[in-house]
Amino acid sequence: MDSKIRTLIILSLMLLIINYVETMVVPALPKIEKDFSISAALAGWITSAYMVVAAATSPLMGKLSDTFGKKRMYIVAIGFYIIAVATAGFSQNIWMLIAARAIQGVGFSVFPIAIAIISDIFPREKVAFAQGILSAMIGIGPALGLLLGSYVVQDLGWPYAFHTAAILSMILFIISIIYIPHTGHRLKEKVDYIGATLIGIASVMSLVYITEAPSIGWLSMENLTLLILGGIFFIAFFLYERRAKEPLLKLDLFKIRNFAVANIVGLISGVGMFMVFIFLVYYAQLPAPYGLGLSIIQSGLLMSPVALGMVIFGPILGKIMPKTGPKPLLILGSVLSAISYVMLLVHRSTTIDVLEDGFISSVGLVAVIVPLVNMVAVSLPDQYRTTGLGMNTLMRTMGGAAGPVVATALMDTYQVPIVTMINNQPYVFGFVPGSTAFDYIAIVGIGIMILTLIGSLWTKNYKFSNKLTRNIENEIMASKQSDA
């Protein structure tokens, strides 16, 4: 087997396992709540802890990869992940589980490192195709997590979901050591740990603010303090980076138009991407006539077309992109994503309706993800590539964190009572999100994807079929001269 293809398969399988584990936790949350006798808010940190640490550590892991080698840090990230997943399965209390999930977040840096490795070993005209396959794992993993995770949790118990993932990860860990090549050029600089700490703290505080907003309030003093401190640390990060001799990320790189666009559009589109998953999962499981009334397993099956769309169209769009460039695909993805939200607004009465909506959404999502990742990988010099991909992962994660919060806030705001007649008397048995809540989620989603479309229009297009003529270093120098 060709070494490039073998490397792509190994990287894809690792990303598949990681994305599977992160979604299979969702069906397990009610059972974990019961086993540990905890509140739903505390159980929410089982997913939030992973997301927060993943965002905060991605830029640092990217910098370490550019400095000490991509394979070395890839192996380190998997090592952290295996230890954390294995520990999670043996958790004796909720705090041990949340701590293990937080450490798993370090393992998420496998994604930007994998993209960087692929960018190193494949010819530029084939990089987008390989990246499309890796990006498709973002769709397949969650679908498998919802489906297989439901069966594992139901039949074996939630610890076994972690046990099986730990075993599979260990197998791939050994294979990776043997077959993943050393790639790229190492950056002969010191690691900017101060900058990494500043942006890490800023990211943690901002994400905790977003995550806690539904429970303690968007404008509560306690929560606003986190947001303000997060903003202060972000400002401190940028001020420090401007003065640092060897910064975590050279701010001049943001003068490269496509790198700046990829981060801005990644942040905005991340909100819309994750809102649609919340919409589909909750709407599918709500009792009729408020939703489709599906079981957890049935809702997992409903998500299968979403994964199928990404599996089919990820590689196809990656194959097309060298001929069209990223700009047309970003526009296509934004438009399709907006259309899918319009369909969810007016076309969701049956399971088939939602299947169609979800499939179109999946194609739109992968049409946005593939060019965004490619723009970062191609537009940056090799020695800054993984750091830049880590920064882009941070931006997309920030948007992804906000999406579910916006969706759940709307579902909490627009509730309707579940009324049952007993002896000709109406009784209220609880409250669920009403049709208005899902309408507003769809309307907000349309707005988000329109903003994504507007941001995409600033993309500087390139085609590999005519050779990439832009030289990154010259563009940076030109930007400096224009500012002088």
Assess if residue 187 is contained within a domain: no
Return the residue matching tokens 């730990």: 166
Q: What is the DSSP letter of 105?
A: H
Q: Rounded to whole angstroms, how far apart are CA atoms 3 and 440?
A: 49
Residues 444 and 377 in one domain: yes
Sign of the four-CA dihedral 291, 295, 301, 304: positive
Q: Which among 355, 358, 324 has a CA at the least distance from the CA of 339?
A: 358
> Any idea how long the chain is?
484
Q: Give 411's Cβ-side CA count (13 Å radius).
A: 23
Q: Rounded to whole angstroms, how far apart are CA atoms 308 and 316?
A: 13
> Which range of residues forms the domain containing residue 150?
1-181
Assess if residue 357 is contained within a domain: yes
Residues 236 and 337 in one domain: no
Q: How many domains does the chain have?
A: 3
Of 247, 266, 284, which marks where a domain is finished?
Answer: 247
Tokens of 224: 């606003």
Assess if residue 316 is contained within a domain: yes
The pLDDT-based confidence of 49 (bands split at 50, 70, 90) is confident
Which of 289-293, 400-404, 470-474 shows the lowest per-residue confidence on average (mean pLDDT)?
Answer: 470-474
The pLDDT-based confidence of 175 (bands split at 50, 70, 90) is very high
Of 247, 268, 291, which marks where a domain is finished?
Answer: 247
Phi, psi values for residue 429, rounded to 5° = -100, 5
Return the residue matching tokens 């380190």: 76
Assess if residue 363 is contained within a domain: yes
Sign of the four-CA dihedral 42, 47, 51, 53: positive
Return the residue matching tokens 């972690």: 162
What is the pLDDT averaged over residues 399-419?
81
Q: Rounded to whole angstroms, how far apart are CA atoms 193 and 404?
A: 31
In this prediction, residue 139 carries a pLDDT of 66
CATH number of domain containing 356: 1.20.1250.20
pLDDT at 365 over 80: yes
pLDDT at 470 over 50: no
Assess if residue 471 is contained within a domain: yes
Name residues whose C-beta falls within 8 Å of residue 305's C-beta, 6 or more positions apart in sequence: 355, 358, 359, 362
Residues 243 and 259 in one domain: no
Residues 456 and 261 sit within 8 Å (Cβ to Cβ): yes
Residues 16 and 98 in one domain: yes
Q: Rounded to whole angstroms, how far apart are CA atoms 355 and 155?
A: 27
Name residues whose C-beta falls within 8 Å of residue 158's C-beta, 6 or more positions apart in sequence: 28, 31, 32, 35, 152
Residues 210 and 227 sit within 8 Å (Cβ to Cβ): no
Q: Rounded to whole angstroms, how far apart are CA atoms 308 and 140?
A: 7
Residues 219 and 171 in one domain: no
Residues 223-238: tens digit of each pLDDT: 899 999 999 999 999 8
Q: Rounded to whole angstroms, how far apart are CA atoms 336 and 364?
A: 5
Residues 205 and 323 in one domain: no
Which of 53-67, 165-179, 282-296, 408-422 shows the lowest per-residue confidence on average (mean pLDDT)?
Answer: 408-422
Residues 273 and 370 in one domain: yes
Assess if residue 186 is contained within a domain: no
Residues 145-166: tens digit of each pLDDT: 767 777 787 788 889 889 988 9
Q: What pTM value is reported for the model?
A: 0.80
pLDDT at 478 over 60: no
Q: Rounded to whole angstroms, how far apart are CA atoms 54 and 61?
A: 10
The pLDDT-based confidence of 212 (bands split at 50, 70, 90) is confident
pLDDT: which is higher, 484 or 11: 11
Of 158, 181, 204, which marks where a domain is finished?
Answer: 181
Residues 268 and 403 in one domain: yes
Residues 168 and 23 in one domain: yes
Q: Rounded to whole angstroms, how far apart are CA atoms 345 and 477?
A: 48
Name residues whose C-beta falls within 8 Å of residue 264's C-beta, 6 or more positions apart in sequence: 395, 455
Assess if residue 452 is contained within a domain: yes
For 281-298, b/e burial (b = at least 16 CB within 10 A) is bbbbbbeeebbbebebbe
Residues 441 and 384 in one domain: yes
Mean pLDDT for the chain overall: 85
Assess if residue 5 is contained within a domain: yes
Residues 39 and 106 in one domain: yes
Residues 156 and 296 in one domain: no
